[in-house]
């Protein structure tokens, strides 16, 4: 028995399918995406994503679920209160979780000029609310560790970080928080909130370090990760293949498949036909790439690396591609 793309759940995407053509496409092909909002800039501009995700989920309730976010702190007195109002509203509108992004720990500064970290007191009312409501918190903390190292030209991360996004490249920014500081801040949050359900996006940025991830799972029973996206396949293969297979075997209840694909160029109506067609093609390609890598023994091209498929057992695939997401997100009613 092998899974097909119309049977699985993409637990980390940025697909809203608010566009009518894309809504029809996900329905006809039985694709299921959890689309995630990213509070990517100061102010409230991210809330457009929130509306798109909500509209997409209304159009295709069997295909689109969504995870909301909160505003970046603006240090006004009622900030926390307003964020909890967003969460209250979005729970009622069907959101299944809340996401914090890597700008916390890597980019955002406090009024005193120091970097804002995940364990800052300002987030405490939000964490308390999430913990009380058993509303899962997805945390995209940091970036893969090589961002703090001298990335060579043949590395799969070279183009993205050194050529296209030098603002995210930290090797030449020693005044910015280090990878280990960001991991420690995330762990402080979990130490303080033992009942908070935390999903580490992109393997919690520890994809190349199976021991570190194992330690996270062993220390924090409420910690999960998603596998999104192509870069993480290219990095996890730095581990021995048998060690990766053993890792999946041991932690098969804690890992969810994700692609990190999005459809933002095609939101909302009207959109360019070319953007819509590109989205459709990428949905199919990336879902299949993930199935091939985790489920089969085919060699998959991820970034500039050849990655031999893990051929995980049908039982493990059933969990990471479907069951874990259904179990972890209580408000996901698929």
Q: Which residues are near Zn ion by CB under 5 A?
A: 260
In the bound state with Zn ion, the residue whose beta carbon lies nearer, of 52 and 260, is: 260
**Contact call for residues 292 and 317 (beta carbons, < 8 A):** no
Quote the least distance from Cβ 142 to Zn ion, whole Å: 14
Quote the least distance from Cβ 226 to Zn ion, whole Å: 9
Rounded to 10°, the helix 47-59/20-28 angle is 50
Quote the least distance from Cβ 229 to Zn ion, whole Å: 7
Quote the least distance from Cβ 232 to Zn ion, whole Å: 11
In the bound state with Zn ion, the residue whose beta carbon lies nearer, of 99 and 280, is: 99
Residues 6+ apart with CB under 8 A from 124: 80
Number of residue whose CB is nearest Zn ion: 260
Quote the least distance from Cβ 202 to Zn ion, whole Å: 7
In the bound state with Zn ion, the residue whose beta carbon lies nearer, of 136 and 316, is: 136
CA–CA gap between residue 67 and residue 57 (Å, rounded): 11
Collapse the DSSP code of 285 into the 3-class scheme (helix H, G, I; strand E, B; otherwise coil) and give the result.
helix
Q: Dihedral of the CA atoms 289, 143, 277, 94 (nearest 10)? A: 100
In the bound state with Zn ion, the residue whose beta carbon lies nearer, of 143 and 260, is: 260
**Contact call for residues 19 and 268 (beta carbons, < 8 A):** yes
In the bound state with Zn ion, the residue whose beta carbon lies nearer, of 26 and 201, is: 201
Pair of tokens at residue 16 = 């809203």
Residue recorded with tokens 């031999």 = 308
The dihedral through the CA atoms of 304, 308, 312, 318 has a sign that is positive
């Amino acid at each position: 028995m092998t899974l097909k793309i119309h049977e699985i759940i993409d637990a980390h995407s940025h697909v809203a399918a608010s566009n009518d053509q894309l809504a029809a496409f996900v329905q006809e092909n039985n694709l299921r995406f959890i689309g995630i909002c990213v509070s990517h800039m100061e102010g409230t501009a991210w809330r457009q994503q929130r509306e798109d995700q909500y509209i997409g989920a209304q159009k295709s309730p069997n295909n689109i679920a969504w995870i909301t976010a909160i505003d970046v702190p603006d240090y006004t007195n009622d900030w926390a209160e307003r964020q909890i109002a967003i969460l209250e509203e979005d729970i009622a509108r069907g959101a299944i979780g809340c996401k914090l992004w890597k700008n916390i720990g890597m980019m955002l500064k406090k009024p005193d000029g120091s970097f804002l970290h995940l364990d800052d007191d300002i987030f405490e009312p939000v964490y308390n609310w999430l913990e009380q409501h058993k509303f899962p918190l997805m945390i995209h903390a940091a970036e893969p560790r090589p961002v703090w190292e001298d990335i060579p030209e043949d590395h799969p991360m070279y183009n993205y970080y050194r050529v296209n996004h030098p603002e995210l490249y930290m090797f030449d920014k020693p005044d910015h928080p280090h990878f280990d500081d960001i991991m420690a801040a995330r762990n402080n949050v979990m130490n303080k909130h033992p009942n908070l359900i935390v999903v580490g996006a992109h393997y919690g940025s520890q994809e190349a370090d199976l021991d570190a991830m194992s330690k996270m799972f062993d220390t924090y029973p409420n910690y999960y990760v998603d596998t999104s996206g192509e870069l993480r396949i290219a990095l996890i293969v730095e581990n021995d293949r048998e060690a990766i297979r053993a890792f999946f075997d041991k932690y098969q209840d804690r890992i969810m498949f994700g692609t990190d694909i999005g459809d933002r160029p095609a939101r909302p109506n009207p959109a360019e036909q070319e953007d819509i067609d590109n989205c459709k093609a990428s949905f199919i390609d990336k879902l299949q790439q993930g199935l091939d890598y985790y489920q089969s023994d085919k060699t998959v091209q991820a970034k500039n690396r050849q990655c031999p498929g893990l051929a995980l057992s049908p039982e493990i695939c059933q969990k990471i591609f479907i069951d874990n997401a259904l179990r972890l997100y209580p408000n996901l009613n698929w």
